[in-house]
Structure formats: structure tokens, C-alpha cells
């Protein structure tokens, strides 16, 4: 049996951050990982998906800007670059970062065996003197559609790491994974059919964001079918998916993109009276109520299924364990989020509808994202809308959505405005540089009447 101050179960981004922060401050830390250090984000989600999408974004910009001609996308080169980005599933590049912070890596599946006790696949027992942190993440949800599980469809893990372009790819879902992978593989030559039971895509964002992404997908040739659901799946060599209108879609591959569920099975939460398969609910210090020694960060607590928010929660948990507790302030709607389609969608805070539903007295202002001098450099015809949702009583921004070409980096200014509750009068004096698309902030404030 080995003893440490803290034992972390899961070495994804959230687990790495909490372990590293504690190690830097002199605590002895063990991090337990059954798969790859770096987690799904590094190998199956954020990193490979963006490697697939970046060439699409660049090719679209070249089409808008005269004087360049890159020709068709080189699929083999794109996939090779994707493999380089994920280090060909080799996590050795992550290890020095842990070693420099004296974090001990324990390979194997970690399981809570009691108060401050963690077993690693029955081979080794670890004791934590201060805390155990669960950072096991989430997995793809595969719903109970007749024949679906037996057909062994792709999930987000498969679609981001596929070795070849499927001639026909059917996608079930209308969220981030569905729209991003529709655009990535559609641009690489796959014939895409996207089926979504809702009436609009990315429904948690502003309606105009979903409409602009829908237009882009249809221009790419994606067959988008809204308001339709799969009722059955059969597979011989190909997939045959029956829809609720009686039609049948055949495809070489089928991607299920219906969301995520927390990885709480098989990690011993039942020994603490908690329910496997459910999120580990936490307070604003990431501590599990009723268990002063147990923390849960990242997707596993269900609060904000975003890598950057898991890392933020890791910092919050580390400070609580160190006795320097700082309560979480940015969560839920305040979580910044980006959809890396073209147009990109960046959003933070409340949508207009959500703000009204919460009872706020709000007003919104919209401008064209590239409707300024800086916009001319991203090329003619780059669609995009920027919106501020303003709390009229406090005169602060409570929500922002920016769509357009390469707008992800522009989101952080909006995040600062929303999280710090910067007054409109102060924002007016934050002068954007010329000629950049940051002038959209000036246009938004002018639209408000300042």
C-alpha cells in the first residue's frame, strides 16, 4: 500500500490540472489512468476534430480571398496531420509534465474502495491523506433504438480517428459533434445524411447560429433532415436506418451523436451510497456533499461538459484541497463555448430566450460580424452575426454570441465582459484596434445607443 496526500482518478485534462497544481505546491500526488494520459480530448475529441476541420476553414477562406488557389483538399495529408496532432495514440509527450511536478502515474483502472482508499484493478491499494479526486470524464450516449447497439455504430471516438473517408456517412444528432463532423467528412468527400429529431441545429445556441450552420452544411451538399427520428437500425455489410416517416437511409457508416453520459460505472461510487451512471454532484468547491474528502471535476460531475471548464474546475478543487478555497464563479451558461464549423459559433452567457426566461429585463443588439474594415480581410461573403444580450437594469452584458469565419479567438473578450460584469460605460472606453474585426464591439455599443 502506498500513501499520498491526494489520489486523482483519471488523467484527462481536468485530472492533469488538479494533479499538477497540487504537485507544484508541494503535495504528494498519484494520478491513476487506465488508458492514455491526456484523455479523450487529446486523442478522440477536441484535438483530432479540430485537425480535421482546420483545412476546411482555410480552403473556404482561400475561396473568398482573390489571388490564391490551393486546389482540392489532400485527404491523405489531412489524416496524416490529424495523426500527428494526436501523437499516433502515444501519450509519452504528456509524461514529462507530470514528472516535473512529481506526480506519480499509476497505470490501471482506479476504483474507490472506501474513505480515502483507491484500488487499482485489484493489484495495488492507494491511500490518500487529504483527498480523492474523481476526473473520469464521460462517454458517448448510445440510445435504445431497436437494432442500434447491435449494429455497432460509430461514436465520437471512431469518427475523429477514422483511417478512411466513408463513401456514405449517416449522422444521428444535431449538436456540436454532429455538425462539426458533417462538415469535416463532407469536405473530405463523404456523402453525408444528417438526421435530427429537433427543428433546428445546435438548439442551445441562438437560432441564427443554427440557421447559418444549416445553410453552410446544405451548401456543402449535406442532406439535412430536421424533425425526423430513427426508429430502427439494421446492418449487413451496410447500415440501413429506418426513419419515423417510413423512409430508409443506407450508409457505409453510422455516427451516433446524441450527447454524453458520465463515466461513473465501475469506479466504486456505490460504496459511498452514490449511484453509478449518474453525475457526481458537487458544490461550488467541487466537493461531493456528505464526503468532505471526495471531489469530482470535469464531465463526470455533469456541470459543464467542456474541456476548459474541467480544467477550471481542477484549479478550483486544488485550491480547496490546499485550504485556499475560492468558490466557482464561471459555470453553466457562463461557460464559453465554441463550435468549430465554418462559420464558427462562439457563445458565452445567456441566449436572448434564456435571459427572458430567467426574468431579466433584457435588450439585444445585432451586427454583422465582418461588417467593418477588418472584415474585408477574411474575404467577401463571410457570413456571420454578432449579438449582445444586455441586462437593462444593471447595464451589463449577460450573453454574447459571435458567428463567422475564425471567430473563436474573439470570444474571450466577450467572456471577460460577461464573467466580470463589465459595465457598458466601461466597455465603451475599451477602444478596438483598426483595422480588425474587433470593431464589431464598437458597432454593437453604437447599436445600443452609446
Closest CA to 4 of 134, 118, 122, 120: 118
pLDDT at 415: 97
Q: Are 426 and 440 a contacting pair, CB within 8 Å?
A: no
Band the pLDDT of 98: cuts 50, 70, 90.
very high
pLDDT over 80 at 122, yes or no: no
The torsion angles phi and psi of 253, rounded to 5 degrees, stand at -140, 150
Does residue 178 sit in the same domain as residue 111?
A: no
The answer to whether residue 391 sits within a structural domain is: yes
Q: Are 295 and 328 a contacting pair, CB within 8 Å?
A: no
Does residue 307 sit in the same domain as residue 351?
A: no
Does residue 275 sit in the same domain as residue 129?
A: yes
Residues near 409 by beta carbon (within 8 Å), at least 6 away in sequence: none
The answer to whether residue 65 sits within a structural domain is: no
Does residue 18 sit in the same domain as residue 38?
A: yes
Give, in order, the Cα–Cα distances in Å from 117 to each of 7, 33, 104, 294, 440: 9, 16, 16, 11, 53
CA-CA distance, 169 to 293, in Å (whole number)? 46
pLDDT at 287: 97
The answer to whether residue 14 sits within a structural domain is: yes
User: Across residues 209-217, what is the average pLDDT?
Assistant: 98
Domain housing 398: 343-448
The answer to whether residue 329 sits within a structural domain is: no
Report the Cα 298 to chain-centroid distance in Å. Answer: 11
The answer to whether residue 61 sits within a structural domain is: no
pLDDT at 5: 98
Domain boundary (258, 273, 298) is at 258
The answer to whether residue 218 sits within a structural domain is: yes
- Give the total number of structural domains in the chain: 3
The answer to whether residue 411 sits within a structural domain is: yes
Give, in order, the Cα–Cα distances in Å from 186 to each of 63, 169, 433: 17, 9, 36
Closest CA to 306 of 331, 328, 280, 273: 331
User: Across residues 173-184, what is the average pLDDT?
Assistant: 98
pLDDT over 90 at 151, yes or no: yes
Does residue 24 sit in the same domain as residue 115?
A: yes
The answer to whether residue 8 sits within a structural domain is: yes
Closest CA to 221 of 175, 189, 245: 189
Does residue 17 sit in the same domain as residue 135?
A: yes
Q: Tell me how many degrees the CA angle 268-273-276 measures, rounded to the nearest 5.
A: 50
pLDDT at 333: 81
Arithmetic mean of pLDDT over the chain:
96
Q: What is the CATH number of the domain that holds 94?
A: 3.50.50.60
Q: For residue 423, list its beta bridge partners.
A: 396
Does residue 174 sit in the same domain as residue 252?
A: yes
pLDDT over 80 at 346, yes or no: yes
Within a 10 A sphere around the Cβ of 41, how many other Cβ atoms? 22
Q: Are 244 and 228 a contacting pair, CB within 8 Å?
A: yes
Strands 230-235 and 294-296 come out as unpaired
Residues near 363 by beta carbon (within 8 Å), at least 6 away in sequence: 389, 390, 392, 448
Does residue 120 sit in the same domain as residue 170?
A: no
* pLDDT above 90 as % of the chain: 92
Does residue 219 sit in the same domain as residue 242?
A: yes
Q: For residue 66, list its beta bridge partners.
A: none
Amino acid at each position: 500500500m502506498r500513501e499520498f496526500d491526494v489520489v486523482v482518478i483519471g488523467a484527462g485534462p481536468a485530472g492533469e490540472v488538479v494533479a499538477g497544481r497540487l504537485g507544484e505546491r508541494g503535495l504528494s500526488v498519484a494520478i491513476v489512468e487506465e488508458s492514455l494520459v491526456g484523455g479523450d480530448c487529446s486523442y478522440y475529441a477536441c484535438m483530432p476534430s479540430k485537425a480535421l476541420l482546420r483545412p476546411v476553414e482555410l480552403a473556404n477562406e482561400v475561396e473568398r480571398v482573390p489571388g490564391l488557389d490551393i486546389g482540392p483538399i489532400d485527404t491523405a495529408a489531412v489524416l496524416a496531420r490529424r495523426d500527428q496532432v494526436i501523437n499516433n495514440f502515444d501519450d509519452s509527450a504528456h509524461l514529462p509534465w507530470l514528472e516535473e511536478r512529481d506526480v506519480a502515474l499509476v497505470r490501471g483502472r482506479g476504483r474507490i474502495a472506501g474513505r480515502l482508499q483507491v484500488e487499482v484493478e485489484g493489484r495495488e491499494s492507494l491511500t490518500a491523506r487529504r483527498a480523492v479526486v474523481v476526473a473520469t470524464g464521460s462517454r458517448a450516449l448510445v440510445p435504445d433504438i431497436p437494432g442500434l447497439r447491435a449494429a455497432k455504430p460509430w461514436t465520437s471516438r471512431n469518427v475523429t480517428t477514422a483511417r478512411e473517408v466513408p463513401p456514405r456517412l449517416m449522422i444521428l444528432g444535431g449538436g456540436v459533434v454532429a455538425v462539426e463532423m458533417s462538415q469535416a467528412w463532407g469536405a473530405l468527400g463523404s456523402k453525408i445524411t444528417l438526421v435530427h429529431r429537433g427543428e433546428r441545429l445546435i438548439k442551445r445556441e441562438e437560432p441564427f447560429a443554427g440557421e447559418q450552420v444549416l445553410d453552410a452544411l446544405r451548401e456543402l451538399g449535406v442532406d439535412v433532415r430536421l424533425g425526423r427520428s430513427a426508429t430502427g437500425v439494421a446492418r449487413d455489410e451496410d447500415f440501413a436506418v429506418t426513419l419515423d416517416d417510413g423512409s430508409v437511409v443506407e450508409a457505409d457508416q453510422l455516427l451516433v451523436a446524441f450527447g454524453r453520459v458520465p463515466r461513473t460505472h465501475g469506479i466504486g461510487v456505490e460504496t459511498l451510497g452514490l449511484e453509478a451512471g449518474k453525475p457526481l454532484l458537487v458544490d461550488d468547491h467541487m466537493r461531493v456533499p456528505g464526503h468532505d474528502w471526495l471531489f469530482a471535476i470535469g464531465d463526470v460531475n455533469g456541470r459543464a461538459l467542456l474541456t476548459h471548464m474541467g480544467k477550471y474546475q481542477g484549479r478550483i478543487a486544488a485550491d480547496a484541497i490546499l485550504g485556499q478555497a475560492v468558490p466557482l464563479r464561471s459555470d453553466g451558461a457562463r461557460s464559453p463555448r465554441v463550435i468549430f464549423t465554418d462559420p464558427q459559433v462562439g457563445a458565452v452567457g445567456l441566449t436572448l430566450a434564456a435571459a427572458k426566461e430567467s426574468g431579466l429585463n433584457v435588450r439585444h443588439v445585432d451586427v454583422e460580424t465582418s461588417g467593418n474594415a477588418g472584415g474585408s480581410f477574411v474575404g467577401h461573403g463571410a457570413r456571420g452575426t454578432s449579438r449582445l444580450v444586455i441586462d437593462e437594469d444593471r447595464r451589463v452584458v449577460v450573453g454574447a454570441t459571435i458567428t463567422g469565419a475564425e471567430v473563436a479567438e474573439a470570444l474571450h473578450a466577450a467572456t471577460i465582459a460577461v464573467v466580470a460584469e463589465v459595465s457598458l460605460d466601461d466597455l465603451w472606453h475599451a477602444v478596438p484596434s483598426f483595422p480588425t474585426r474587433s470593431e464589431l464591439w464598437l458597432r454593437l455599443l453604437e447599436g445600443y445607443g452609446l
